[in-house]
Structure 1
Amino acid sequence: MERARKVIPSAQHPETPVYLGATAGMRLLRMENQQMADKILNVVAKSINKYPFDFQGARIISGQEEGAYGWITVNYLLGKFTQKLSWFNLKPSKDDTQETYGALDLGGASTQITFVPQNEMIESPNNNLYFRLYGKNYSVYTHSFLCYGKDQALLQKLALGLQGTSEIIHEPCFHSGYLRKLNMSVFNEGFCARRYMSTSSYHPFFDIEVRGTGNFQQCQQGIIQLFNSSYCPYSRCSFNGVFLPPLQGQFGAFSAFYYVMEFLNLTSQEHISTKKLTEKLEEFCTQSWEEVRLSFGDVKEAYLSEYCFSGTYILALLQNGYHFTDESWKTLHFMNKIRSTSVGWTLGYMLNLTNKIPAEEPMSAPLSHSTYVFLMVLFSLILVAVIIIGILVFHKPSYFRKDMI
């Protein structure tokens, strides 16, 4: 907010809207303690109201909204909502269907998948959203998996590792030689991990020691247990009985999807094969904690210790959760920015609240920068030619002009 106050001219402060949306972490808190969630929003709202902007309020957005806003952001920045223009960028191209990208978002507490299925009935009404943007209708599939962000998924994985009354968890998703102390309260007080717990065996404030064993295959198999694929009330599902139509089109994967892949040095390539990712994770996860710390000394320990889990979780989520095959994996694009703008749900949220994307297509398409430059050069050349002809004609001797008349 301080940066915004410095960057935005003071005369424009009163007319600059500010929106605050809270996501999965606050959705979890609201489920556990509604009063605490409301109190936090009120405190934040009071803090923002101290600034000279037009504050429009704070609220917790739904998982469905979070997925939809991420989808809007990706396709808005890629220019997928407007028709491409062919003749000097002025004539709409009838052949260009402008197929939208799907959006894959991974946060700390939830993950979202959103895309437009091809000629497919969305069997679950709760997963269906309708948009009319630039004169075109979109029937969008979206679902948000609460508790399946990378942080909450890790807590679930660790909770599964608790056996009987043992004070030690041998965790293959942590590097060998790595140790972490955890209090039972992190499992008992959280909605996501608590459902895996048999709390009668442990004191609420019992301390647990997590010891890394660094085994990629065991890590992967343990993570796959988080995805329940045994029950599906629809023609096809992702996991946990949630409907998922056949994947369609290209997908932009952002937020933690990108950050983890960037750490693994796999974002410079256009397409990353499952084989390449698996080999990279096997190599990284089997390194000792001492080796990893020496190689990545500039990375905070809290983040560094979890990259083996996070990378393996992403692989399992995409393959076993969302059913990306070796072939459809080629449609994945791990992205952080598009045209220098960060990819995430926030831009889509703002565009929706400010009505910056019209429901109907404008009567005339705006000129692209290249078209504008081309036309300006063309008109300038014509103008220069007319002036030269005029000078030549009107500077001829008078008798020549008479002959012309």
Structure 2
Amino acid sequence: MSWRELLPPWLVIVAGLTGIVLLCVSTKDVPVAPLRTKYGIVLDAGPSHTILFIYQWTTTKANKTGVIRGCSSCPVQGPGVSSYSDSPQKAGKSLEPCLNWAQNKIPAEQHSQTPLYLGATASMRQLNLSHPILSDSLLAALTGTLKSSPFNFQGAQILSSPEEEAFNWVAVNYVLENFFKYDWQGQLVPSKKGMAGVLSMGGTSAQFTSDLEEEKQAPEEGVRLQLYGQTHRVHTHQCPCHGTEQLRRRLLSVLIQDQRTAKTVSNPCWPLTYSQEVQWQSLLAGPCAASDDTRDTPGPKEVFNITGSSNPTACMNLMQSLLNSSSSCSFFKHSLSSDLKPLQTRLLVVSEAMDFMRGTAPSPDLGQAVKRLCGMSIKELIRESQASLDTLADYCTVSAFIFHLSTRGYTLDFDQPAWTAFQKMGDRSSGWTLGYLLSLTSTIPQDSPSFLKGIEPGVWSLLLILFVVLLMGSFLRISYRVMAKESSSSHRSSSVFDD
């Protein structure tokens, strides 16, 4: 028997041996992370209303922290929960329609795995200070309703101001991709942009939140958070009596005392022809004193007619003198020399007034933008916003305050794409809910991955080459046999014709 006839069986033998080698080659288990979507629910029990947020993310994490990709919300009908202090059970009952909505939005098989949390903020903090028993009753009623839902209830509590601001800081830096970013291959990689600070304007106070150096500054203070493989110690500077409402009261107080003899009090920070009758006693309400000096003050029942004169320069000068005489906001005086000096230079401002100015009076020069806003007429203000005129009238005062803050050593960030990204995550005023859930994902166990068998790339390449050689050899052998047969047939045919 010739070697040509032995070749096919030898090829079969080699193929069998190759299969045996494949069974003997060492392999390793390669984990494959599942892409199942997970959900989380956070209720923001704010001063005027409650909103239920549903966030969703895949089970794949970035350095042990989730990557949230979607958000939907359900506004709870009725006032804020603190308004139910006389009937706590109604507060719990008011949540039921939105909880039912959430059950329809989230697959039933994931209800028991979906964390549910409620955080109460400013108004409940005040109620807890003045009437702790009432606030406890409200929380108990809310807890009862949330526990009866099919979701994984995590708790209902009153957030401290530092906690609320810390979670808001997390949300801002998350949407700005300061924790991580996507590279050109779509992979998550650490970001090198650094963290941004956040200035949020409340009604009573302003808060400046920043990330502090590890163990070098006030180690006993701040909220410690573990996010994306790094530890952040977030500290909030409180600035009492510099919130939106208190700035307004303090400004009107100064104007009234300066112009007591006039029939009408002129306010350069209000639009032209806008006016209000203000009782002196109303300026004394709240935790802050309305007057910054000891001059002779009006009687509590005395009423003053205050009319806007729309004078941007006078308004900015008045606000500057007001802040220079203020003694209640320490971080303005020591912003550059404070022991709690922030690492970052960027400061994102969370304020409705600045949002309005960004859309209606954009300018690379903040001072010019403020002057443009302060010079707008009532018609222009109403045309650009659906907010009440009383709210719009005070936007100039707040924007002038923030401008003077920028002259104290802080760099304000008014990047429009940054705000567009922030607003995509739902209600920007409830940014703390996003920050809270991001911090919570680090404690939620990741789904167990499935495994595939894998071999080393070098071994795989050698086996591929061996199979290619076998296939080529078999193909050449078959081609040779066909050609040999055709040649033999042709030779016999020619022999017949020759005979």
Question: Partner residue of 2:404?
Answer: 316
Question: Partner residue of 1:377?
Answer: none
- Give RMSD over aligned pairs: 4.7
Q: Does 1:357 align with 2:436?
A: no
Question: Partner residue of 1:64?
Answer: 162
* Equivalent of 2:207 in 112, 121, 126: 112
Question: Partner residue of 1:142?
Answer: 236
Number of residue pairs matched? 356
CA shift digits 1:139-180 (9 cap, x unpaired): 444313233222222222222323186685421111121111
- In the alignment, residue 402 of structure 2 is paired with which amino acid? I
Question: Partner residue of 1:21?
Answer: 119
What is the Cα deviation at residue 201 of structure 1?
Answer: 4.0
**Whose strand proportion is higher, 1 or 2?**
2
- The answer to whether the 8 Å contact 1:131/1:138 transfers is yes
Counterpart Cα distance in 2 of 1:199 and 1:20: 46
Counterpart Cα distance in 1 of 2:415 and 2:357: 12
* Equivalent of 1:8 in 92, 95, 103: 103
Q: Does 1:174 align with 2:261?
A: no
SS at match of 1:338: helix
Question: Partner residue of 2:92?
Answer: none
What is the Cα deviation at residue 284 of structure 1?
Answer: 3.6
Measured at CA, do residues 156 and 80 of structure 1 come closer, stay the same or move farther in structure 2, by a change above 3 Å?
same
* Equivalent of 2:372 in 275, 283, 299: 283
CA shift digits 1:238-275 (9 cap, x unpaired): 39x97552662444333436523344353xxxxx53x2
- The answer to whether the 8 Å contact 1:104/1:253 transfers is yes
Counterpart Cα distance in 2 of 1:151 and 1:230: 16
What is the Cα deviation at residue 218 of structure 1?
Answer: 1.9
- In the alignment, residue 120 of structure 2 is paired with which amino acid? A
Q: Does 1:338 align with 2:422?
A: yes
Instruction: Please give the residue correspondences for 1:200-349 in structure 2 after superposition, counting only pairs within 5 Å.
Output: 201-228=297-324, 237-238=334-335, 245=341, 248-256=344-352, 258-266=354-362, 273=364, 275=365, 277-289=366-378, 291-292=379-380, 295-296=383-384, 298-320=386-408, 323-324=409-410, 328-329=411-412, 335=419, 337-338=421-422, 340-342=424-426, 343=428, 344-349=431-436
What is the Cα deviation at residue 237 of structure 1?
Answer: 0.9
Counterpart Cα distance in 1 of 2:353 and 2:312: 19
SS at match of 2:257: coil
Aligned identity (percent) is: 25
Question: Partner residue of 2:7?
Answer: none
Question: Partner residue of 1:365?
Answer: none
- In the alignment, residue 312 of structure 1 is paired with which amino acid? A
- The answer to whether the 8 Å contact 1:249/1:331 transfers is no
Counterpart Cα distance in 2 of 1:255 and 1:246: 20
- The answer to whether the 8 Å contact 1:255/1:336 transfers is no
Counterpart Cα distance in 1 of 2:382 and 2:401: 24
- The answer to whether the 8 Å contact 2:277/2:303 transfers is yes
Counterpart Cα distance in 2 of 1:199 and 1:63: 34
Measured at CA, do residues 203 and 230 of structure 1 come closer, stay the same or move farther in structure 2, by a change above 3 Å?
closer
What is the Cα deviation at residue 351 of structure 1?
Answer: 3.2
What is the Cα deviation at residue 309 of structure 1?
Answer: 2.1
Question: Partner residue of 1:156?
Answer: 250
- In the alignment, residue 419 of structure 2 is paired with which amino acid? M
- In the alignment, residue 283 of structure 2 is paired with which amino acid? F
- In the alignment, residue 161 of structure 2 is paired with which amino acid? G
Larger Rg: 2
Counterpart Cα distance in 2 of 1:198 and 1:175: 29
- In the alignment, residue 340 of structure 1 is paired with which amino acid? K
- In the alignment, residue 157 of structure 1 is paired with which amino acid? L
